[in-house]
Chain A
Amino acid sequence: MLRFLIRRVLGAAVILLVISAVTFFLFYAIPADPARLACGKVCPPETLEQARRNLGIDQPLLVQFVSWLSGIFVGRDYEGLGHCPAPCLGFSFVNKAPVFETIMDRMPVTIALTLGAAVIFLIFGVATGIVAALRQGKPLDKVASVASLIGASVQIYFVGTLAMYLFVYQTQVFSQPKYVPITEDPLGWFNGLLLPWLVLALIFTANYTRITRSTMVENLNEDYVRTARAKGMSGRSVVLRFALRGTLTPVITIFGVDLGTLIGGAIITETTFGLQGIGRLAVRAVDYSDLPTLMATVVLAAGAIVLMNVVVDSLYAVIDPRVRLS
């Protein structure tokens, strides 16, 4: 198990390194003047000079990349701007602050948004999928399939804005979405995120219902399930202990992909509800022409996806011992 884990982590690190290198190259080698893109929409000459000097634009690209990369591990000094401590993902010449600080500021918003929604859509999606599979062709199954079709086709910028109109401005059922740290005001935290969670869950549940249902239907026809039934096991334990276990694998796969993508920036959701998370930060960085921040958000988002892949792989190994050996 340990060897398996080490191999996966190393593979993930290589992918992340290559993504960083490719992104760095595309952002710093292709533009005619990367310092100009790092200096902000309104670009005072002294900031431009600062950016040019500190990015080391006149040095070979590889040297620039290595100093960016080593900054993550040992930190980096910025001339005239101060020190950027250890996980230094770059320095924003627009905010006059290390990018990592800003990211740490925004991260709780995105994580709270993602995890809250994920709890809802995972539980609700798998539950409706199981019920639909057990009641194949019955009205409930049909309702579930129509609902999942609509959920899969609807867009967050439409249904989210519509929900804001109906439930926030017309009826005040939900409070205006906003982020309050959970340590400050747990109830405010919950209220502020409830609507975004529900809307995000509405869209994502569909996929889980569909996948759980189809895998479950397949699994219920498997020999081992029939054997368990024949041995006199009760219907419930057959479903929960045997059929569900086989169903978990594909569910975990998409759950990992969804979590990775959302943590890397639920851009459209954050934009729709005006939440200041990582996704918003990336969009703002584009608007303000803040290249170091942009670079950091891309690497961070890729990191989230790669990390979730490793987690998913490890979970496979826990659920299905055969994976460990291959």
Chain B
Amino acid sequence: MARNFRISYVLRDPDHMTTPTSTAITTDATSVTETQDTAGRSPGRLMWTRFRRDRVGVTSAVIVIFFFLVAIFAPVISWLYGKDPYTLYGQDIPGLLNDYGYPILPNGGISSEYWFGLEPSLGRDVFMQLVYGIRTSLGIALAATLIITALGIVIGIVAGYIGGRTDYFIGRIIDLTLSFPSTIFIIAFTPVVESLLVPPDEETPIWLRAVSLTIMLSAFGWAGLARLLRGYVLSLREREFVEAAKVTGASPARIVFKELLPNLWTPILIQSTLLLPAMVTAEAGLSFLGVGMGELVPDWGRMFLRATQVYQNDITYLIFPGVALLIFVIAFNLLGDSVRDAFDPKIKR
């Protein structure tokens, strides 16, 4: 019986085929005679080994890193490229835009000078808009993801570990948050918040918009993660090792940080990898609806908004942000799947 099991396991596991002394054997408790390097591998190390062999995962990781690098080094790219996202090139330099404000050159005015063309009527450089736009989108999305993850961890653990009335109370708040129509609420509530913080005749400062967007996205995003983690904690709480820790007199803090959290990092990492692209598209969607960043800040969502106004005459202006966002989201989704596979190769998709 055991032999049968072993064979089927080996057949199912493609890793085993390529390198005989790898993960498939490490999980087998009886095989003590392993080579030195596999003996003391931590789970993180194992995950990394598995991940490195996943070609799709590595490719998407490279793409994701590329996007982050572009965001970080946007000023350097701007310096090398010799343009910035704010100058109205089309209006300053004659011969670029026609009388209706559309680029004269075909395909949205793509040229060796303006790689991705020019923005209709305002005449800004599309390439620079995209490069700096990543900064805005990623910055807000990253901040929201971090806040959501932190909130989700704390609330999920509190609800699952303390249980009882606290759990019930938190559960109802989660129900409530998930029933809120978040998009409508965010568009509706943004002007209310701003009317409170900014005098009516003044322009809303950029940082305030960014902060309020981040807070709004976080306020509606935490509930799903918290509910998921609560479920994990609930089942972990009943496990023997937690019981053992309690019996030996470990403090609640020790149990949470030393027993529960290490077992939660896998779902947390997977969820936040999937959360980030969701936040990027949510931010772009809100800007598309006109409650995102203001006109001066380069932003992908606002590019889409402008593109829907001019697409009949200049489709190129839609294609660039569209394809860029698509590549980014696909890469991130694939990365999320690969991370999950690497952590837990038993889960089949």
Contact = CB atoms under 8 A, between A and B. Distances in A.
Task: Give the 8 A-B CB pairs with smallest separation, nearest first.
Answer: A301-B181, A158-B322, A153-B329, A153-B330, A294-B188, A264-B181, A157-B304, A282-B184
A149 B330 contact: yes
Interface of B: 175-176, 179-181, 183-185, 187-193, 195-196, 277, 281, 284-285, 288-291, 304-305, 307-308, 311-312, 315, 318-319, 321-322, 325-326, 329-330, 333-334, 348-349
Nearest to A156: B285
B191 A305 contact: no
B199 to A, nearest CB: 10
A143 interface: no
Nearest to A160: B308
Nearest to A264: B181
Interface in A242-287: 261, 264-265, 267-268, 271-272, 279, 282-283, 285-287
Given A32-B196, A37-B195, A272-B308, 19 more contacts: A19-B179, A31-B195, A149-B333, A153-B329, A154-B329, A155-B285, A155-B304, A157-B304, A157-B305, A161-B311, A162-B318, A164-B311, A268-B183, A282-B187, A286-B187, A287-B290, A297-B188, A302-B180, A305-B179
B342 to A, nearest CB: 18
A265 B288 contact: no
A15 B175 contact: yes
Contact of B192 (A26, A169, A305): A26
Given A285-B188, A302-B180, A161 B175 contact: no
Interface of A: 15-16, 18-19, 22-23, 26-27, 30-32, 37, 149-150, 152-155, 157-159, 161-162, 164-165, 169, 214, 217, 261, 264-265, 267-268, 271-272, 279, 282-283, 285-287, 289, 294, 297-298, 301-302, 304-306, 309
A37 B333 contact: no
Contacts of A153: 277, 326, 329-330, 333
Contacts of B318: 158, 161-162, 165
B312 A169 contact: yes
A283 B187 contact: yes
A155 B278 CA distance: 11
Contacts of B183: 265, 267-268
B315 A283 contact: no
B216 to A, nearest CB: 12
B315 A165 contact: yes
B123 to A, nearest CB: 21
A162 B311 CA distance: 8
B254 to A, nearest CB: 35
B289 A283 contact: yes
Contact of A264 (B184, B285, B321): B184
Interface of A is mostly: helix
A152 B278 CA distance: 10
Contacts of A157: 284-285, 288, 304-305, 308
Nearest to A272: B308
Contacts of B334: 149
Contacts of A283: 187, 289-290
A298 B329 contact: no
A152 B181 contact: no
Nearest to A257: B178
Nearest to B331: A153
Given A158-B326, A271-B289, A286-B291, A23 B185 contact: yes
Contacts of B181: 261, 264-265, 298, 301-302, 304-305
Nearest to B324: A158
A217 B290 contact: no
Interface centre among A164, A265, A267, A309 (most CB of B within 10 A): A267
Contacts of A26: 189, 192
A154 B326 contact: yes
B179 A306 contact: yes
Contacts of A37: 191-192, 195
13 contacts: A30-B193, A153-B329, A155-B284, A155-B326, A157-B304, A158-B304, A169-B312, A264-B184, A279-B184, A285-B188, A297-B184, A305-B180, A309-B179
Interface centre among B175, B187, B333 (most CB of A within 10 A): B187
A161 B308 contact: yes
B311 A165 contact: yes
A85 to B, nearest CB: 25
B325 A267 contact: no
B22 to A, nearest CB: 23
A152 B333 CA distance: 9
